[in-house]
Structure 1
Amino acid sequence: MKFEVIVRAIVHDGKGNLLIGRKDPKTPHPLQGRWHFIGGRLEYEEDPWSAVMREVEEEVGIKVTPLRIIDAYPEFLVWPKESGVPSEYTLHLIFECLAEEAGPLKPADDVVEARWVDISELNQYLDEKESLLRSLRLQDFLRELAR
């Protein structure tokens, strides 16, 4: 079984908007074609804070400042789905990040679309496949941010 650390960025602009991206529907991935919070794998000898900054810049073309780790949680992933056998054990590190700039978003890598959404609209984009939404600490953070 493979073990991975995934960094995920809850990027906000300080005005109640959150950054989300949509995975390429043609790329095999558990979030294939779905909206999600930006993130990716921690690379060998990379610290998580640098990884989350790199992932956001690679996938949507903006710089962010990671402010804190909101939560860390494990997940067993069955991939490919047809196998029915857990193939990955993933540790997700969820970061609160502040966008350093409000420039245009430039989706790249396996993100085909990116946008800022008001926190009140988040549920229109993310569904139960976005496993981060299971984090109670993230739910608390989103409620706090919406105030």
Structure 2
Amino acid sequence: MIEQQTISIAIVQNEQKQLLISRRQQGKHLAGKWEFPGGKVEQGEALETAMLRELKEEVGLSATQFTLFDSLNFQYDQLNLSLHFYLVSDYEGEPVSLEGQQIKWVSVSQLSEYEFPKANLTVINKLL
């Protein structure tokens, strides 16, 4: 049976136009790959609310300005994802690794140097 998940994701951009990425931890699906902060939308939760919650839980940031950048569906072998990417142009706080993951700021042109999950590649190409 194929599992269905809805994911809200924050593409955080700082004043230097760099994007915040984090590395998936060992033991997780797609461990070692890079991604933007985000996670599963809980039942009854709005997409924006999930993005705000995940951003706070994972890296301690509070988004103050954001817009929906893209939505897409992607299917892995046993997992069907509905992905919603928000471009965060203003935020409060400084990013901190709150879940033990490696985080870093990279320029848009550097994104292609990092290995992202296949589900993210369409959005990466739109950012480039």
Pair in the same fold by TM > 0.5: yes
Q: Is the 8 A contact 1:62 1:99 kept in 2?
A: no
Identify which range, 4-13 or 63-72, moves more after superposition: 63-72
Q: Which residue number in structure 1 is paired with residue 103 of structure 2?
A: 114
Number of equivalences:
127
Give me the TM-score of the superposition, normalised by structure 1: 0.76
Q: Measure, in 1, the Cα distance between the counterparts of 2:65 and 2:48.
A: 7
Q: Which has the larger radius of gyration?
A: 1
Give me the TM-score of the superposition, normalised by structure 2: 0.86
Q: Runs ≥4 in structure 1, deviation > 3 angstroms?
A: none
Residue 89 of structure 2 is aligned to residue 98 of structure 1: yes
Cα shift at 1:65: 3.0
Cα shift at 1:130: 4.3
Q: For structure 2, which runs of at least 5 residues remain unmatched after alignment?
A: none
Cα shift at 1:14: 3.5
Q: For structure 1, which runs of at least 5 residues remain unmatched after alignment?
A: 79-86
Cα shift at 1:59: 0.8
Cα shift at 1:131: 2.2
Identity of aligned residues (%): 26
Give deviations 1:114-146, integer Å, cap 9, x for gaps.
111122222222x253421224xx534x24xxx
Q: Which residue number in structure 2 is paired with residue 16 of structure 1?
A: 17
